[in-house]
Amino acid sequence: MKSLKLTMIALLVSFTGLAQITLPQASPAGTVSSNVGLTEVTIDYFRPKVKGRQIFGIGEQYLEQYGKLWRTGANNGSLLGLNGKATIAGVEVPSGTYQILSIPGKDEWTVIIYDGSIGGNMNAYEESKAIVKAQVTPIKLDQTVETLTFNISDISEDNTAANIELQWADVSVKVPMTVSFEEDVMAQIKAKIQVDPQNYLQAANFYLSTDKDLNQALEWMNKYLAVGENTKQFWNVYTKARILAKLGNKKEAIATAKSSMEMAKTNEGGDFGYIKRNKDLIASLK
C-alpha cells in the first residue's frame, strides 16, 4: 500500500509538471552586444514596459522617483559585460561583469557601474563598490519608448568610442565609453608579421589609417605586393599610392595611382570604383 501511494504521488508530480503553462514574462529578458575596438561589450537586462504608467518624476504616482537608487531594469536588473578593459565616463574599468544602477533626475542622472551584482535588492548597495558614478544629462524624447531598451550606440569611425545608451518612456541617457586597442594591435603585428604575407597588408593599412610610421607602412606594402601576383591587386596598389601621397611623394604617388587605374580599367570583373578613386587621388596631388 505504501509503495502504491508513493507511485501515485510521483505520477501526480509528473503530471503537474507536464500540465504547467509557459507564459511570456511581463518584463522579458533582452541582450545587446557589440564590439567597440577589440572589446566586446554586452548588456543583459530585463525590459519593463510603460503600460500607461508615469515612469520618472517626483511623487508616489511615478514608478521610478527622482533621487532614488534604481536597479535600472526589471527583475534582477541589468548586467554589463566587458571582455577587455574600457574607460567609462573617464574611469578605467577592467574586464569583468558589472551591474548598471542609476539615480534618475529631472536635469541630471547618476549612472553607476557597480562591481558585483545585488539584483533588485537596493538595500544591499555598498558605496565602495560603485567604481563609476557618471553624471549625465538626460535627453527628452519626442516619442514614448514603450519597452526599456539598451543600446551600444554612436560607435566612432575609428572604433575607439561609443555610448552606453538607455531609452525608456520619454528619456534617453547616454554614458560615454572609450577603448584603446593600439597596443594590442602593435603586439599582434610584431608577433605575426613574418607568419603570413597577408599580415604585411593588414599592418600597412593600420599604420595608414592611424597616421603612424608611413615609411614603415610603405615598406610593408611593398613586401606584400612583391609576393606572387599581388602586384596585380589594383585596390592594394591604390592603397600604396595613398601612402606615398601622405608621405609627400607626389610624383611616385601619381605614377602608382595611374598604374592602379589602368589595371582597374582592364579588370574583367569591374573596377569596383577604383578608376574614380585613383582619378580623385591624382587630381588632389596636382
Amino acid letter at 154?
A: D
87 phi, psi to nearest 5 deg:
-105, 115
pTM of the model: 0.65
pLDDT tops 80 at residue 8: no
* pLDDT above 90 coverage of the chain, percent: 69
Question: Under 8 Å CB-to-CB from 174, ≥6 apart: which residues?
Answer: 136, 139, 153, 154, 163, 164, 165, 166
Question: Under 8 Å CB-to-CB from 59, ≥6 apart: which residues?
Answer: 65
Domains with residue ranges and CATH for the chain: 24-178 (no CATH), 182-285 (1.25.40.10)
pLDDT digits (tens, 9 = 90+) for 208-242: 888 888 998 898 899 889 988 999 999 999 999 99
Buried (b) or exposed (e) across 187-220, using 16+ Cβ within 10 A?
ebbeeeeeeebebbbbbbbbbbeeeeebeebbbb
pLDDT digits (tens, 9 = 90+) for 85-100: 899 999 999 999 999 9
